[in-house]
Amino acid sequence: MTDSKYFTTTKKGEIFELKAELNSDKKEKKKEAVKKVIASMTVGKDVSALFPDVVNCMQTDNLELKKLVYLYLMNYAKSQPDMAIMAVNTFVKDCEDPNPLIRALAVRTMGCIRVDKITEYLCEPLRKCLKDEDPYVRKTAAVCVAKLHDINAQLVEDQGFLDTLKDLISDSNPMVVANAVAALSEIAESHPSSNLLDLNPQSINKLLTALNECTEWGQIFILDCLANYTPKDDREAQSICERVTPRLSHANSAVVLSAVKVLMKFMEMLSKDLDYYGTLLKKLAPPLVTLLSAEPELQYVALRNINLIVQKRPEILKHEMKVFFVKYNDPIYVKLEKLDIMIRLASQANIAQVLAELKEYATEVDVDFVRKAVRAIGRCAIKVEQSAERCVSTLLDLIQTKVNYVVQEAIVVIKDIFRKYPNKYESVIATLCENLDSLDEPEARAAMIWIVGEYAERIDNADELLESFLEGFHDESTQVQLQLLTAIVKLFLKKPTETQELVQQVLSLATQDSDNPDLRDRGYIYWRLLSTDPVAAKEVVLAEKPLISEETDLIEPTLLDELICYIGTLASVYHKPPSAFVEGGRGVVHKSLPPRTASSESAESPETAPTGAPPGEQPDVIPAQGDLLGDLLNLDLGPPVSGPPLATSSVQMGAVDLLGGGLDSLMGDEPEGIGGTNFVAPPTAAVPANLGAPIGSGLSDLFDLTSGVGTLSGSYVAPKAVWLPAMKAKGLEISGTFTRQVGSISMDLQLTNKALQVMTDFAIQFNRNSFGLAPAAPLQVHAPLSPNQTVEISLPLSTVGSVMKMEPLNNLQVAVKNNIDVFYFSTLYPLHILFVEDGKMDRQMFLATWKDIPNENEAQFQIRDCPLNAEAASSKLQSSNIFTVAKRNVEGQDMLYQSLKLTNGIWVLAELRIQPGNPSCTLSLKCRAPEVSQHVYQAYETILKN
Amino acid sequence: MIGGLFIYNHKGEVLISRVYRDDIGRNAVDAFRVNVIHARQQVRSPVTNIARTSFFHVKRSNIWLAAVTKQNVNAAMVFEFLYKMCDVMAAYFGKISEENIKNNFVLIYELLDEILDFGYPQNSETGALKTFITQQGIKSQHQTKEEQSQITSQVTGQIGWRREGIKYRRNELFLDVLESVNLLMSPQGQVLSAHVSGRVVMKSYLSGMPECKFGMNDKIVIEKQGKGTADETSKSGKQSIAIDDCTFHQCVRLSKFDSERSISFIPPDGEFELMRYRTTKDIILPFRVIPLVREVGRTKLEVKVVIKSNFKPSLLAQKIEVRIPTPLNTSGVQVICMKGKAKYKASENAIVWKIKRMAGMKESQINAEIELLPTNDKKKWARPPISMNFEVPFAPSGLKVRYLKVFEPKLNYSDHDVIKWVRYIGRSGIYETRC
């Protein structure tokens, strides 16, 4: 066999010669010619001109020749659709051939020819083949349905092939079942809504039986399909898990990973107290470790998946640190992934070993790997406090090597260590300063400048050091410029006497000579602060910094849950949802983990929705940011910062007051104007360089937060409702309610952190609303909110904010910011929180007003099921600032005349008719602004019924 | 699913190109060549995404195999398939080289048509494939109807790896327990990590459809059995080993292993890998390496390495090789060794010390003086670990085959008539000592 000769024909008249050979009478010569054609096709030459001649060779008994011609057809049929019809007859004939291999070949090839006219002819043979007596033909036909669906989905549906395909799931041959499952899964993906796969306990049982018998590839198809199923309760989940676990011992890594996917997903439904849950956890570790002895490419896939699994369920692999140690000749992509997992698994128990390893790695040759290893040492210091000292000394050793990139990387991580353990390791600063000149990467320079600024009082020549950076100020990257600006301001605040000139210089560089708005803005802020109130400046710039989080690069929990559903697939390799890399609608169905359902509960509610709460309770979450952009521009929300807060985040300013305060006066270096401006503390306005300095802390005293909480003498308070579910806010759950006590309105919030990451830097802002509700103080979350922690906060509200009529009237759109992102939601507030204390109208006045308001403004409502007498109702309403002006008894009915006033001065007059013995009462409302009536009625109803 | 499969030579020329899905065009062939094979910087991941198209690649000598897709496919499956593809090709025509691929391109297209349908992997067992796809062209056209249906039922059936009607005059089987022992040791002699990855390879020449049962000194099994007789526990308990994890050839009934921990199967004909396993406890480390590196001034290194063999004196280790890395600026090396031959190989930056045979409980030593060229390179020498290769005639994990029973209910031969051979070979995997 020397087929390679076919690759070497490069003569000029090649096509012409081939044509002659194809039409030769000799079989051998024909075959040779077709082979040559295929070889040219492979190399990328266009041989479509030979189409008729090649198709002519199709009618042959020689199967090998036939296969070659088919191969040619699959490639070129599309370019010559009319000619391709010539082949149809042969296909149809072959589908009737006594030899099952030929029948299958014909149906397989026909499906690959994407020409509409051919597809029409394909339907009949395909139908026959789907019911063929030979399993080989059936399994080929099953795949062919998927092919046909890809060409013409409508045709497949019309011809009823989908039903035939569904029937094949019950086929006696396991491979037919597997292929049918694969085909159905793919078709179902392009119709996310259709219930094509229709998985139910019976069909699941069939799949599980086939799982034991089919080929390794079939097992993968079936397991991937099983992963899409949501068991009805924990018992079913457990029984499926039990039947899937044996797959963990399969030699094929893909089978193992797909089994892991099913188990990880269904485990969600099992109670942690279950013995079986523990057993399952133990069973998962060994196969995952075994994956690491596979070929490097598979190791890579496995490691990317383990990275997810470790984040989701750290307990599985917590004792397996050693297997992730890097081997000298691992490919670099395996090394980097292992390192990632090592950091995640590092704990007090194994830190000594990990550090010893990391130190080894830091002396390797691959630059990326070494950098990552150095960074890992820093992460360990932050994660495991006991090891911090050893980590720092290791880093110092590494700095002594003077290898440029090692030094720079080490300085970047030492900055983070300083952040975590302030004032503990400043003895190393001297060593760091020695390396100042060798730093050429922006990140390292910025880190070093931060350190100098932060510890300016301990570094004798801090001013000289910073000055040396200032020389090339405009050549530095923004990161460095911002950091330098902040550092010099810090230095000035610490050593004001000798650094005045320096600070002047940097401020003018930043504000006057820079085109970068971030830099300019920060410059102005500092300038203003320094010239108005140096004490305040000190409080802001040198404020205590919030903690930095221990974990980095954690995948956001909802994405993590989604990726767990994609274990083994490309999505898990890229750590991105499929929508990020798959075109079109295919495969972008959002998947989520099943909720935990106990079997006892499910008896009553068999139809548990797969995600979240029932739709009725779904709070109204403002969908798109874009719609609100106009209004939200007024909001002072800091930038979303994730991961370790770099000291470079740009300062966001309250646009309103800056503009109001007069930029002009700033430019003119005359800050007097600013002092006079009404500085209505914008929530988290101007969070300065190092993030989250609680600027508003002083203000909180103004609003006595603690007063009245718990002593609910005021109006009725509704129980807290979930306003922002954790799913929609990257793990932050907000529930709350509104209260009114002694003239002040507040919003009682409960913030729960359901993410894995510490949350800090909270801020809140309202959109403009009907009654001008606005936070009267910044959102005070004193300590960072650690995972699973809940805080209760009472946010005082004022009604002096800007007004915009909302629909419905009492709608309030809220934006909440934390270090992760900004979230939007909307809620309805009960109107009675707006009823003011001086809402009692004089009797005469009442009468006059009642008459004065036109009758069409009167609205009447029925309040049902409220068996209260006049006295009780009156006193109940009074506590919510609805005052009874007069009382009458007419024909056995009690008539209460009441008045109330809203915060914006709107009066509402009411007549409440109560009939003793009748649980319903009638409410007539008169108001000059009739649109509030409906909401006042609701308030009445809520108050009376509670 | 897999949208297309390409095979390239080292220059990036296409040798095989088979497209399964419409969304993969000819430009994908070029995209991979330009962005991966000809990439200026070495590509650092086996999965590459170029313009929303994902490429999976593996390399065999200088041949690139690439699978392409635009969907969210099962990545592990694609790689498993690519390896399988290599195995199948190797089983048909030997080494995967440009020459062999060009010589067999028609065959490869035929195989690709068979084992990958619309991008879905189908039966890829060579045993089954060879029944109807051969290098000499297709067999099936002259077959009888029975033969044809036998082929199709085998390709799709439950026992896809074995055909009916196999007959041998002499029923014989060979079991090889092949282990590779991996070690990473600190310079102070502390074991940083050690594990054995082992394989049980079986060659079976058995008639009919034999039902086999394989037993080894697995701790779990022996403890289970030992509950009845306390005697046996004490006797065999010592010798049993704890297996961390094992995986099996697809012929093994996994559900049975899961419930009873018994390994039963109908073997394929000829050679196959029955199981893979991994152990980390009580490993016999056949050799201990004790390094001593001393820097004498800036231009000289003194290296002393002692190796100690740690197994029964009656056994012989073979093919021993110790590789001592030297700095890049080495100018000359003098070596003295007690046993074997040692040579400085400048091209490999290492001193290679070879010993043909060495009995257990022995010790040997090498001394080397390394002259260095003075450099002003600030970068420190990374000091790669000292690595070792060897082969020993026992299983370092301590695994022992207890039995392999054969039952063939239809034919008239019994377990006793089968001739069985068992062999243990322990080899070094990555056996490194840091210095």
Assess A569–B contact: CB distance below 8 Å, yes or no: yes
Distance CA B199, CA A495 (A): 71
Contacts of A922 (CB under 8 A, 6+ apart): A860, A861, A862, A863, A912, A913
CB contact under 8 A, A363 and B382: yes
Cα angle value B12/B15/B17 (rounded, 5°): 100
Q: What is residue A588's predicted lDDT score, i.e. its pLDDT? A: 52
Report the DSSP pairing between strands B53-60 and B47-50.
antiparallel
| Contact of A414 with A378, CB cutoff 8 Å | yes
Strand boundaries in B96-210, DSSP class E: 116-117, 120-121, 133-134, 137-138, 172-185, 191-205
Does residue B223 have a pLDDT over 60?
Answer: yes
Does residue B33 have a pLDDT over 70?
Answer: yes
Q: What is residue B31's predicted lDDT score, i.e. its pLDDT? A: 92
A419-434 mean pLDDT? 85
| Contact of A320 with A584, CB cutoff 8 Å | no
Assess B80–A contact: CB distance below 8 Å, yes or no: yes
Phi, psi at residue B285, to the nearest 5°? -85, 110
Assess A333–B contact: CB distance below 8 Å, yes or no: yes
A508-516 mean pLDDT? 86
Q: What is residue A402's predicted lDDT score, i.e. its pLDDT? A: 84
Is B354 annotated as ligand-binding? yes
Distance CA B42, CA B62 (A): 15
CB contact under 8 A, A44 and B148: no
| Contact of A655 with A632, CB cutoff 8 Å | no
Higher pLDDT, residue B116 or A433:
B116
Contacts of A540 (CB under 8 A, 6+ apart): A529, A686, A688, A693, A695
Closest CB to A42 among B15, B132, B197? B15
- Point out the least confidently predicted range of A44-58, A150-164, B154-168: B154-168
SS3 category, A469: helix
Q: What is the pLDDT of residues B302-351, one digit of tens each?
A: 999 999 999 999 999 999 999 999 988 889 999 998 899 999 998 888 99
Does residue A76 have a pLDDT over 60?
Answer: yes
Assess B17–A contact: CB distance below 8 Å, yes or no: yes
- A821-849 in b/e form (b: 16+ CB < 10 A) is bbbbbbbbbbbbbbbbeebbbeeeebeeb
pLDDT band of residue A911 (cuts 50, 70, 90) is: confident
Assess A688–B contact: CB distance below 8 Å, yes or no: no
Q: How far is B49 from chain A (nearest CA, A)?
A: 8
Assess B261–A contact: CB distance below 8 Å, yes or no: no
Q: What is residue B250's predicted lDDT score, i.e. its pLDDT? A: 85
SS3 category, A571: helix
Q: What is residue A587's predicted lDDT score, i.e. its pLDDT? A: 46
Selection from A320-329, A648-657, A779-788 with the highest mean pLDDT: A320-329
Q: How far is B280 from chain A (nearest CA, A)?
A: 10
Interface test with A, best of B1, B24, B58, B74 (most A CBs within 10 A): B74
B123-128 mean pLDDT? 82
Distance CA B1, CA B429 (A): 35
Does residue A568 have a pLDDT over 60?
Answer: yes
Distance CA A225, CA A196 (A): 12
Closest CB to A403 among B132, B257, B378? B378
Q: What is the pLDDT of residues A2-49, one digit of tens each?
A: 677 777 655 556 778 888 888 887 878 888 888 888 888 888 788 888
Is B203 annotated as ligand-binding? no
The percentage of residues in chain A with a pLDDT greater than 70, rounded to a whole number, is: 85
Q: How far is B170 from chain A (nearest CA, A)?
A: 30
Q: What is the pLDDT of residues B377-414, one digit of tens each?
A: 655 677 788 999 999 999 999 999 999 999 988 887 88
CB contact under 8 A, B58 and A297: yes
Does residue A714 have a pLDDT over 70?
Answer: no
The two three-digit tokens of residue B137, written as one number:
């062209």
CB contact under 8 A, A174 and B13: no
- For A104, A127, A170, A175, A876, the CA distances from A138, given in Å and listed in that order, are 8, 10, 12, 9, 76
Report chain B residues whose CB lies below 8 A from the CB of A140.
117
Tell me the residues of chain B between 195 and 234 that have a Cβ less than 8 Å away from chain A: 195, 197
Q: How far is A360 from chain B (nearest CA, A)?
A: 9
CB contact under 8 A, B106 and A101: no
Report chain B residues whose CB lies below 8 A from the CB of A569.
72-75
pLDDT band of residue B289 (cuts 50, 70, 90) is: very high
B170-194 mean pLDDT? 91
Taking residue A292's Cβ as centre, other Cβ atoms within 10 Å add up to: 21
| Contact of A177 with A169, CB cutoff 8 Å | yes
Higher pLDDT, residue A86 or A334:
A334
Is B343 annotated as ligand-binding? yes
- A402-437 in b/e form (b: 16+ CB < 10 A) is ebbebbbbbbbbbbbbbbbeeeebeebbeebbebee
The count of CB pairs under 8 A between chains A and B is 291
CB contact under 8 A, A301 and B75: yes
Closest CB to B72 among A249, A302, A578? A578
- Domain extents in chain B: 4-124, 172-225+238-282+408-433, 287-392
A642-658 mean pLDDT? 37
Q: What is residue B364's predicted lDDT score, i.e. its pLDDT? A: 94
Q: What is the average pLDDT score of chain A?
A: 80
CB contact under 8 A, B54 and A570: yes
Report chain B residues whose CB lies below 8 A from the CB of A97.
none
pLDDT band of residue A677 (cuts 50, 70, 90) is: very low
Assess A323–B contact: CB distance below 8 Å, yes or no: yes
CB contact under 8 A, A246 and B257: yes
Assess A883–B contact: CB distance below 8 Å, yes or no: no
Report chain A residues whose CB lies below 8 A from the CB of B83.
295, 298
Interface test with B, best of A76, A208, A573 (most B CBs within 10 A): A573
Assess B48–A contact: CB distance below 8 Å, yes or no: no
Distance CA A674, CA B190 (A): 69
CB contact under 8 A, A252 and B71: no
Rg (CA), chain B: 26
Q: What is residue A796's predicted lDDT score, i.e. its pLDDT? A: 86
Burial of A479 (0-12, 13-18, 19+ CB in 10 A): middle
Does residue A304 have a pLDDT over 60?
Answer: yes
Burial of A466 (0-12, 13-18, 19+ CB in 10 A): buried
Q: What sign results for the dihedral spanned by CA atoms A687, A688, A691, A693?
A: negative
Q: What is residue A271's predicted lDDT score, i.e. its pLDDT? A: 87
Q: Map tokens 């300038």 to a residue.
A: A527
CB contact under 8 A, A573 and B47: yes
Helix (H) or strand (E) holding A323: none
A874-898 mean pLDDT? 83
Does residue A602 have a pLDDT over 70?
Answer: no
Q: How far is B50 from chain A (nearest CA, A)?
A: 10
Distance CA A31, CA A57 (A): 9
pLDDT band of residue A584 (cuts 50, 70, 90) is: low
Q: What is residue A243's predicted lDDT score, i.e. its pLDDT? A: 92
Helix (H) or strand (E) holding A747: strand A744-753
Distance CA B223, CA B244 (A): 16
The ipTM estimated for the assembled molecules is 0.79
Tell me the residues of chain A between 216 and 255 that have a Cβ less than 8 Å away from chain B: 216-217, 220-221, 224, 243, 245-247, 249-254
Q: What is the pLDDT of residues A451-466, one digit of tens each?
A: 998 888 888 888 888 8
Strand boundaries in B206-268, DSSP class E: 211-216, 245-248, 263-265
Q: How far is CA B107 from the centre of its chain?
A: 26
Assess B420–A contact: CB distance below 8 Å, yes or no: no
Amino acid at B403: Y
3-state secondary structure A258-319: HHHHHHHHHHCCCCCCCHHHHHHHHHHHHHHHHHHHCCHHHHHHHHHHHHHHHHHCCCCCCC
Q: What is residue B81's predicted lDDT score, i.e. its pLDDT? A: 96
